[in-house]
Chain A
């Protein structure tokens, strides 16, 4: 086989006659295709009960998508062990269909003895990787492998105002290498702006001291443009949020918020809390990247480990029994 390289050709400089091939239209072709196939997005919420996880998720997606809304009682008993409960909805916007799955983890951090309470979560995450791997390695593969892998884990930090708890550090340290962790400070309306800033700084420092890389991880910045965008975000994290599904009247407009005797906390007001920033970051700019890091980094790490352990993974039929590899 002989090879030749024709060098670079730019049709903008060269022949002015009939100089347009039309390569840029491939973007449109791709867009049409992605619109047709739709997207999967799987988000996990972790944190002790009562921190407003379900409310926040409902607020983020402007729909009743959380587990609590699926009819389960708000005052149900705290389970004895950490449970994994997932709920899926298909939501549509602007012609784009998204299958959104919220994975809830009731019982996390709620026991007296919380030793190893991250294990069921770690196990769940690995099970989704395993499921995907089995599909990938199948002889006859689906055209589009269903993706149940956790793309993002919102970790809820209680607004103590002091520092991270041991449990927070333990969890994030162990899981930051298998899933994208986005720490958020829950119910942040209990802190003043100054208290909030100090708390955030302390949290960031502690995360750094413990070698915990939350999303967006520095090592995965593609280029200078990404790095500068992501640096700004990293400096604002963890986002201090407030969630609410109730509307109130403020200055003649209806806004989502919490009404107290001393004022109305507006969820989407960037002066009150960082909900809007979290939403823009999570959904409007980095949604695709969250999926890609999960697929290209976390999943590949899992897969490489599996291949090494197994001495080479053989293509297996879908009738195979599941091997637990955790």
Chain B
């Protein structure tokens, strides 16, 4: 390349960026949610070739009655070809296990919000050198294969979380279904997802300059939702080969056989093609939404407090007293007033905000199901 007269050399920039990232290593936080017994732990172990749950104790029904939904975190460092990944798995034992499961997703939603809050505080602080990013990048939600599609709990959970985290629906224990049953179930679930206005993680559209093979794979990926998976921690012998699978009297189910299940598709999507995008959408959409809402509600509280103070001071009035012009304002008052205007401005005029589409910042009750991709600039 040096011989090229016109070569400056900044084409090496991606390499310079990559060199630093390899040194630093990457991190990824994956949440798994769904009722007990749907194979979540096994799947995680299969995906990342680890044995995170080997010391786990399974509770019996009586013990489960008193259990509330817990949030557990497991971290593992994985290295491959010089690239280091710090993988965190967030599990939700107890979810959906009680007799009355009302609002059992609340602790999950709270956990996600807490990570956002911690990041927001760190980001706004003075010393930002070593901010820990514990935000959840992806949530695999396990749908039982035994129902007729989505159950009310599934719908409520996904609706409560779809604007906080990237949801990837999984059809669990898919070896209990025949291929035709899988197909029908997937179709039904996709229909219901749309019907209930659930915004699952959307794969980004292909660039027009990608090759045909890539485009084809991309299309297949989109049509595979929910991923019908099977997990296994054991190795069995099939046709003279040793494979990860499940041994039945009637045959062997191979986890990594794409005619048997979507495990390979899921793994490739999660690790090999979309890991970066999952992190980007978390940062650029979910976190930004949280942050904007947080700031606006802080502003409202401050304004309310101020108005309340005014009311108690001047009896007989039942509306906020406007600022008297000409009186010197303190710095804080000025900022409060400006924020006041910003909040009113934001509530009133969604299309006058210059850079981001504003629909997602309105209160959630008024919201119509819209494509989460709309919030992202192309």
Contact = CB atoms under 8 A, between A and B. Distances in A.
Q: Do they bind each other?
A: yes
Contacts of A310: 331
A1 B80 contact: no
B328 interface: no
A74 interface: no
B50 A9 contact: yes
A288 B16 contact: yes
A80 interface: no
B117 interface: no
Given A6-B52, A308-B126, A318-B354, A288 B13 contact: yes
Nearest to A144: B377
Given A18-B244, A287-B13, A314-B335, A29 B273 contact: yes
Interface string B2-13: 000111111111
Nearest to A100: B10
Contact of B10 (A10, A93, A307): A93
B315 interface: no
Interface stretch (B153-161, B168-176, B336-344): B336-344
Nearest to A297: B129
A4 B74 contact: yes
A2 B73 contact: yes
A21 B49 contact: yes
Contact of B78 (A23, A29, A283): A23
Nearest to A276: B2
A22 B345 CA distance: 47
A317 B72 contact: no
Interface stretch (B19-27, B30-38, B222-230): B19-27
B247 interface: no
A7 interface: yes
Interface stretch (A32-40, A158-166, A176-184, A230-238): A32-40
Contacts of A142: 355-356
Given A5-B75, A29-B277, A140-B353, A279 B9 contact: yes
A304 interface: yes
9 contacts: A10-B78, A14-B49, A26-B83, A96-B13, A143-B284, A284-B9, A285-B12, A314-B339, A317-B345
B266 to A, nearest CB: 12
Contacts of B274: 29
Lowest 9 CB-CB distances: which A-B pairs, in order?
A94-B11, A6-B76, A288-B16, A29-B276, A317-B342, A284-B9, A24-B81, A22-B272, A24-B83
B97 interface: no
A317 B20 contact: no
A15 B49 contact: yes
Nearest to B256: A18
Contacts of B20: 288-289, 292
A8 interface: yes
Residue with the greatest number of chain A CB neighbours at <10 A, chosen from B129, B242, B273, B361: B273
A77 interface: no
A115 interface: no
A139 B346 contact: yes
B362 to A, nearest CB: 13
Nearest to A3: B73
What bracket does the count of chain B residues touching chain A fall in?
35 or more
Contacts of B280: 33
B361 A26 contact: no
Contact of A27 (B22, B243, B338, B377): B22
B77 A22 contact: no
Interface in A8-58: 8-12, 14-15, 17-27, 29-31, 33-35, 39, 41
A6 B244 contact: no
Contacts of A318: 354
Given A1-B70, A5-B74, A27-B22, 12 more contacts: A1-B71, A4-B73, A4-B74, A19-B49, A21-B267, A22-B268, A95-B11, A143-B356, A284-B9, A307-B126, A315-B295, A316-B338
Interface string B123-158: 010111100000000000000000000000000000
A285 B15 CA distance: 9
B284 A300 contact: no
Interface of A: 1-12, 14-15, 17-27, 29-31, 33-35, 39, 41, 60-62, 91, 93-96, 98, 139-143, 222-223, 254, 279-280, 283-289, 292, 296, 300, 304, 307-308, 310-311, 313-320
Contacts of B47: 21
Interface string B248-284: 0000000010000000000110011111110010001
Given A2-B72, A143-B376, A314-B335, A11 B78 contact: yes
Contacts of B14: 31, 34-35, 96
B111 interface: yes
A8 B12 CA distance: 33
A221 to B, nearest CB: 13
B80 A20 contact: yes
B308 interface: no
A266 B59 CA distance: 79
A254 B5 CA distance: 9
Residue with the greatest number of chain B CB neighbours at <10 A, chosen from A11, A286, A288: A288
A94 B10 CA distance: 9
Contacts of B180: none
A26 to B, nearest CB: 5
B7 to A, nearest CB: 7
A21 B76 contact: no
Contacts of A307: 126
Contacts of B126: 304, 307-308
A8 B77 CA distance: 5
